[in-house]
Amino acid sequence: MEKRLQEIIARKAEIKNELAGADEKRLAELNTEVDGLDKEEAQVRSKMDLAGKLGTPEPKPQSRKDESEAEKRGKALLEKRSVTIASTGVIIPAYQASDIKPTFNEVSSLLDNVNIKQFTGGESFKQPYSTGYGEGEYATENDTTLTDADATFGYAEVTKTKIVAYTEDSEELIKLPAANFDAEVVKGISIAERKKITKEILIGDGASGHFVGIFDDGATAIDAATDIDFAEIDENTLDEIIYSFGGNEDVEDLAVLILNKVDLKAFAQLRDANGQKIYDVKPKGNFGTIDGVPYIINSNCKAISAAATTSGQYAMAYGPLSNYTMGIFSDLEVSRSTDYKFKEGMIAHRGVIFAGGNVTAKNGFLRVKKS
């Protein structure tokens, strides 16, 4: 049963990555598949819970390799040695131990869908991007005054930043088996790192040693003149966003809307004069669709619908998530100390990762403010 549960979770993760680029037909197919997986997952978990209550032992995992790696990391932590976790430990959704009841999700899936590049040991990298192309012109025979039609380019720099997560646990934690000890420590550190990074992708201030966020002036690939604003969400808001993004020759169809849950609620509650819903909102956890347009919830967006949001504050971003590039310059490293709070019997854990990010496409996102 445990093996099937892992397969279900893995498939749902694959579907989540596919959503951003799916058309309306494919979205419907994926939603149907997810509904079936949700039901099967509930049944499997129910059987596992019942087996536990009846004292029926769960079959051991088929793969000893995964278990032995976790045990090695757990023992290393117990021996007070630093532990290096692959960078994917920060990027993929955090593991939830079966014996710990999780709280509500605190990490936006935005982090899982941006463009990620590995530059282990590097300090920075520059991503070139096209800003435009020239246009041909009429000419006569032997004409020597030809018009230049040069393509133009820009570049965005992604520099290394240091992100640290610190946590303290009770000494009872070390009584867990080595593999469980590793899982619990890495889970807490990974969630903390992910929360910070997914926040900075939007609002990083671009200062030295900081991410450049989509909403920051330091995202020089975005022309601030393309920003739009709304006083409230109405029946025209989504169309205005969609048709304001991109160039003059196309309507983009691979873009994602990033917004606050409060504004998503406003879209869902909007009614016409006959009391009918104006927008078809289909939520699926942290993401979903509005009239077939993919969205991702991120609480770091201000909400246009919230009275506390003031004029000029950024509330949404719309564009292909691949237009934001995050560089991973090191693996996540976790170390442990029992000295700092020895009297209280607390164990300190410190996780460090070097990463950075920036918008790497010309006007890669349409930014939406409250007017």
Q: Which residue type sits at 319?
A: G
* Same domain membership, residue 161 and residue 41: no
Q: Which residue has the higher pLDDT, 40 or 59?
A: 40
What mean pLDDT comes out for the span 29-50? 74
Q: CA dihedral defined by 102, 104, 108, 113, rounded to 10 degrees?
A: 50
- Asked if residue 93 has pLDDT above 80, the reply is no
In the chain, what is the greatest distance between 2 CA atoms, to the nearest angstrom? 93
Helix (H) or strand (E) holding 71: helix 64-78
What mean pLDDT comes out for the span 35-43? 78
- Mean pLDDT of the residues in the chain: 83
What mean pLDDT comes out for the span 202-227? 95
* Same domain membership, residue 54 and residue 100: no
Q: Which residue has the higher pLDDT, 207 or 87?
A: 207
In a domain, 75, yes or no: no
In a domain, 148, yes or no: yes
In a domain, 67, yes or no: no
pLDDT at 356: 95
* Same domain membership, residue 88 and residue 58: no
- Asked if residue 91 has pLDDT above 60, the reply is no
Q: How far is the C-alpha of 221 from the C-alpha of 210, rounded, in Å?
A: 17
Confidence band (pLDDT; 50, 70, 90) for 80?
Answer: low
In a domain, 281, yes or no: yes
**Cα 131 to Cα 55, 226, 247, distances in angstroms:** 65, 14, 11
Contact status, residue 297 vs residue 89, Cβ threshold 8 Å: no
Classified as helix, coil or strand, 310 is: coil
Contacts of 61 (CB under 8 A, 6+ apart): 2, 3, 67
In a domain, 14, yes or no: yes
Q: What is the pLDDT of residues 279-317, one digit of tens each?
A: 999 999 899 999 999 999 999 999 999 999 999 999 999
Tokens of 88: 């994917």
* Same domain membership, residue 58 and residue 102: no
Q: What is the CATH number of the domain that holds 311?
A: 3.30.2400.10
In a domain, 93, yes or no: yes
Contacts of 185 (CB under 8 A, 6+ apart): 77, 167, 169, 173, 334, 336, 349
Tokens 């800003």 sit at which residue? 131
* Same domain membership, residue 291 and residue 160: yes
* Same domain membership, residue 356 and residue 241: yes
- Asked if residue 253 has pLDDT above 60, the reply is yes
* Same domain membership, residue 177 and residue 48: no
Print the domain residue range for 86. Answer: 80-371
pLDDT at 42: 74
* Same domain membership, residue 123 and residue 49: no
Based on the structure, what is the number of domains in the chain? Answer: 2
Strand runs labelled E in the chain = 83-85, 115-118, 124-132, 152-159, 161-170, 228-230, 256-259, 281-284, 287-290, 293-297, 314-319, 324-328, 332-337, 346-359, 366-370
Confidence band (pLDDT; 50, 70, 90) for 220?
Answer: very high
In a domain, 58, yes or no: yes
* Same domain membership, residue 179 and residue 243: yes
* Same domain membership, residue 183 and residue 209: yes
* Same domain membership, residue 271 and residue 196: yes
* Same domain membership, residue 97 and residue 45: no
In a domain, 73, yes or no: no
Which of 62, 90, 112 is the last residue before a domain boundary? 62
Q: What is the pLDDT of residues 130-177, one digit of tens each?
A: 888 888 877 777 777 777 777 888 999 999 999 999 888 777 776 766
